[in-house]
Amino acid sequence: MLLQEKLVQLGYDIKVDGRYGPKTTEAVTAYQKANGLKVDGIAGDITMASIAARLKATGPATGSAVAADPPGLATPIAGGLGAISIAEAGKQLTDQADALRGYAEFSSVIGYAAGVLMAIGVGIIAVGIVRTYIVPALRPAKAPVPE
């Protein structure tokens, strides 16, 4: 959804629905072509860094005009980064890595909670097995005595 929101800010006419479907792929391909990037329709690190730099440099699009093929950042350079400097691309990647670290920490909390729930479940199963099979084997039921 974040990619789609950024593409909409740049003037691409796509629906922000969180699906990387044909329209999103077309928009990414058009962006890559217009900005001298490798045209593969995949929003990888270089494409995302380029989009972020473009938004930072130009700001969001205003109005409802749709750019079918927005102008590029500048004349492409050897690495296909356009006018983005290597330092800017590195900063973008560092920012993304910091965000992922936050998710990883949250993930470890969820993993710990899942482990606790699993231990509780194993305990409940163990109690059920003991009550169903072991206790009756150790204390057989006494047959009623006829009167």
Residue 75: per-residue pLDDT: 44
pLDDT in tens, 8-53: 999 999 999 999 999 999 999 999 999 999 899 999 999 999 999 9
Q: What pTM value is reported for the model? A: 0.42
Quick one: which of 49, 58, 59 has its CA closest to 85? 49
Chain centre distance of CA 47: 16
The domain segmentation of the chain, as residue ranges, is 3-57, 106-141
pLDDT in tens, 130-140: 888 888 888 87
Quick one: which of 89, 96, 91 has its CA closest to 35? 89
**How long is the chain?**
147
Query: Is the pLDDT assigned to residue 119 strictly greater than 60?
Result: yes
Quick one: which of 70, 81, 75, 82 has its CA closest to 34? 70
pLDDT in tens, 60-118: 554 434 444 454 444 444 444 454 566 666 777 777 777 777 777 777 778 888 888 99
Distance CA 51, CA 39 (A): 14
